[in-house]
Amino acid sequence: MIRFEVSRPRAGLAVLAGAAVALGVAAGGLAARAAAPSVSVDSFTADFSAMAKLKPLVAAGKGKIGVLLPETTTSARYSSFDTPYLKRAFAAAGVPASDVIITNAQGSESTELTQAQADISQGATVLLVDPISSGVGASVESYAKSHGVKVIDYDRLTLGGSRDYYVSFNNVAVGQMIGRGMLACIQAWHVAKPNILVMRGAPTDNNATLFAQGYDGVLQPYFASGKFVKVGEPAGTWDPAVAQTTFQEQFTAHSNINAVITPNDDNANAIISYLRTLKVPPHRFPTTGQDATLTGLRNILAGYQCGTAYKPIYLEAQAAAALALYLRAGEAPPKGLVNGSTMDSTKKVAVPSSLLTPIWVTPANMAKTVVADKFVAPAQLCASGLAGACKAAGITP
């Protein structure tokens, strides 16, 4: 009896203990999932403080993160901003520097593919890819998928690709800002009868398509009503020299053009340079842009460009790094981080996307945006005759 009475509770305790362990594991798993950090696209700031919240993901994750950047020839942003900001974002989250591989293909598609393969051979479990073209992007993503590696398209969507997510600024919103910027400029500069040439970026770049979707949507009602005239819409390009030649040809054929939608600052500057040879005065012939380049910002202060869509790269870098850490840890990213979708027009599928909000910059907010963010040096911005314009804009060299 005594042995029976003693052994029974022990057996019961063993069963209860086993159940408790099982429940504990289950509860622990649920607790781990419930405790997984959550960030949104609105969490990120210039001090990178939100990244520290993701340290539990770093501890739970495995493998390295490969970052494939495209080039530095047409844009210095990749070396001046993306690379240091991505490094800072990962470091702020506690990722060892040895677990992040950042390479730049310098415009070579074969190099970008080789770099992706090398990253995977070195243990990368997640790739961030800014593809030189959709062709090489699709090749990288196919190779990664065959090796069980997650892929995030960074800044530029791979058409026909097999990526898991996309991180960029809301490019339709960029285009809408360009369109609304043109409307504001036409009014402020008193352009009585707007005859607008609509220009685009390269047709091979999906971003250019999205930009155009944005500004076409803003301007179409004005064209349809006859309030504005669309003079033409030539083939697109990201080559400023080609853009200038195209504009000259259009302006020669249609001398009534008195405004032009230009999809970035470099193309705008090429056209502004030509207009200046014709002695067109400031605040007379509206142009638009994006990227907040030094030249573009100077053209805005000088009265030749209406504004520029500024995309704070430190926000994009943090969103991309955060998304990579969720994938590396095998966690589903929160809805606040994956806050939209972007259509892959080749595959006709919507790609889950982390979309950040750009800022339209004019002299009115230049000091509080690009200058405050140290995106541009005031001494360079205000040089060569622009000291007065800088002073009026509240910018101190």
**Residue 297 · residue 390 · CB < 8 Å:** no
Annotated domain spans of the chain:
49-170+312-359
pLDDT tens track, the chain, 397 positions: 333 333 333 344 443 334 333 333 333 332 344 457 999 999 999 999 999 999 999 999 999 999 999 998 777 789 999 999 999 999 999 999 999 999 999 999 999 999 999 999 999 999 999 999 999 999 999 999 999 999 999 999 999 999 999 999 999 999 999 999 999 999 999 999 999 999 999 988 888 999 999 999 999 999 999 999 999 999 999 999 999 999 999 999 999 999 999 999 999 999 999 999 999 999 999 999 999 999 999 999 999 999 999 999 999 999 999 999 999 999 999 999 999 999 998 999 999 999 999 999 999 999 999 999 999 999 999 999 999 999 999 999 8
**Burial of residue 235 (number of CB atoms within 10 Å: 0-12, 13-18, 19+):** exposed
**Residue 334 · residue 35 · CB < 8 Å:** no
**Residue 342 · residue 166 · CB < 8 Å:** yes
pTM of the model: 0.84
Quick one: fold of 49-170+312-359?
Rossmann fold (3.40.50)
